[in-house]
């Protein structure tokens, strides 16, 4: 009854895109979630790279990203808007707080900007105005 090669033979018979789709669905839920969060974190890194030049600091960029995700009305054009919508989808339309965004970036070392060390009383309630 147990045929370890059966799945591989079936996968070889279907188109590659369908085989990839099926193999992803056969993975354990924890692995699917880990892949989704890795893709989300990569997208967060990309959007912060797009926002940093105008925002000036990782903290300001993270606050702008947080604001955009909370609004759930992402209207930014071009690559920025596409990446913001991707983050929203990959995070299941749940907003991320700026501290969580900064923590993700510091843990991966993806954005080299230590400006997220800000005391609570120093943080403005309003993110820097950047067109999103």
Q: What is the pLDDT of residues 73-115, one digit of tens each?
A: 778 888 888 888 898 889 888 888 888 888 887 776 665 554 5
Residue 6 has pLDDT above 60, yes or no: yes
- Range 118-132 average pLDDT: 45
Residue 119 has pLDDT above 60, yes or no: no
User: From CA 128, how far away is CA 64, in angstroms rounded?
Assistant: 7
* Other beta carbons within 10 Å of 87: 24
User: From CA 88, how far away is CA 40, in angstroms rounded?
Assistant: 9
User: From CA 102, how far away is CA 99, in angstroms rounded?
Assistant: 5
124-129: long-range pairs with CB below 8 Å, 24+: 127/60, 127/63, 127/64, 127/66, 127/67, 128/55, 128/56, 128/60, 128/63, 128/64
Give the pTM.
0.68
Q: Percent of the chain beyond pLDDT 70?
A: 80
Residue 129 has pLDDT above 80, yes or no: no
């Amino acid at each position: 009854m147990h045929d370890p090669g059966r799945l591989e033979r079936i996968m070889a018979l279907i188109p590659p895109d369908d085989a990839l789709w099926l193999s992803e669905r056969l993975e354990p839920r924890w692995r699917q979630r880990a892949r989704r969060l890795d893709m989300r974190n990569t997208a967060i890194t990309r959007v912060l790279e797009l926002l940093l030049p105008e925002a000036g600091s990782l903290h300001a960029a993270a606050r702008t990203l947080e604001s955009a995700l909370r609004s759930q009305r992402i209207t930014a054009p071009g690559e920025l808007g596409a990446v913001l919508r991707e983050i929203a989808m990959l995070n299941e339309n749940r907003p991320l707080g700026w501290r969580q965004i900064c923590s993700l970036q510091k843990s991966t070392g993806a954005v080299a900007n230590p400006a997220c060390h800000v005391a609570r009383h120093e943080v403005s309630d309003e993110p820097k105005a950047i067109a999103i």
